[in-house]
Amino acid sequence: MLVALSLGSLGVASASALPGDELYAIKRGLEEVRLGLNLDPATEAALLGDLADERLLEVESLAAQGRNEDLLQGLEEYTAAVERLAGAVEVPSAQGADEVLDKLTRHIAVLEQVQTHVPEAAQEAIERVIERSIDAETEGRPPSDTTLEEGCPGEPDCGDRHDRDRRIHMANQIAHIYDVSPEEALAVFEGECTQDWKCVRSYFRAQGSGNPHRP
């Protein structure tokens, strides 16, 4: 009984802890206990979604408080949560795969907002997290009729296949998130944005396309 009460007290005390706080390790440990005690895959998928939301809130709080060193740890924690959540796309859940993927898309919108309010070093870290979130967001989605095909069939030299496929992959993802065509995204990337995906996202936001999932 005393152990249960102690754990309950620690849970309450650590609930608002952020990366860099003394109680944060306890908070994360209790979360892992909850995951470990869960035996239902569908419930686990929902819990992973809740934890990814919590990691994102921590990133927002750290950025708002100007705790830039701790923000880097928070971004690492968030990336790990996204990796786990992406795996939940394959698990039948009460939320459903579409809701999991839409959650990731909303997260990208929040990260873009945070990115505009932090120093350059943190911006670069957030950029990497956004790209991983974009990857996770689209991994579980079936290709649409407008999706560009990857690969270089019929070409004698495919030495640049990886770079070409990466560009097409990102163009398809950007197209989904900002409701434009992959060809438009790729044209902006290779044209005025001189192969900078952050610039491409900023371009479509400025054009009014925006992220329709922005909170």
Q: What is the pTM of this model?
A: 0.70
For the ranges 7-16, 40-49, 169-178, the maximum mean pLDDT occurs at 40-49
Q: What is the DSSP string of the chain?
A: -HHHHHHHHHHHHHTT--TTSTTHHHHHHHHHHHHHH---HHHHHHHHHHHHHHHHHHHHHHHHTT-HHHHHHHHHHHHHHHHHHHHGGGS--SS-HHHHHHHHHHHHHHHHHHHTTS-HHHHHHHHHHHHHHHHHHHHTSPP-TTPPPPS-TT-S--TTHHHHHHHHHHHHHHHHHHT--HHHHHHHHHTTT-S-HHHHHHHHHHTT---TT--
Q: Note the pLDDT of residue 16.
A: 92
- Residues 136, 128: Cα–Cα separation, whole Å: 12
Predicted confidence (pLDDT) per residue in 20-49, tens digit: 999 999 999 999 999 989 878 778 888 998
Tens-digit pLDDT profile for residues 126-162: 988 888 887 776 665 555 445 555 555 555 555 566 6
**pLDDT tens, position by position, 87-134:** 765 554 444 566 777 788 788 888 888 988 888 888 889 988 888 887
pLDDT for the residue 213: 44
Average pLDDT score over the chain: 78
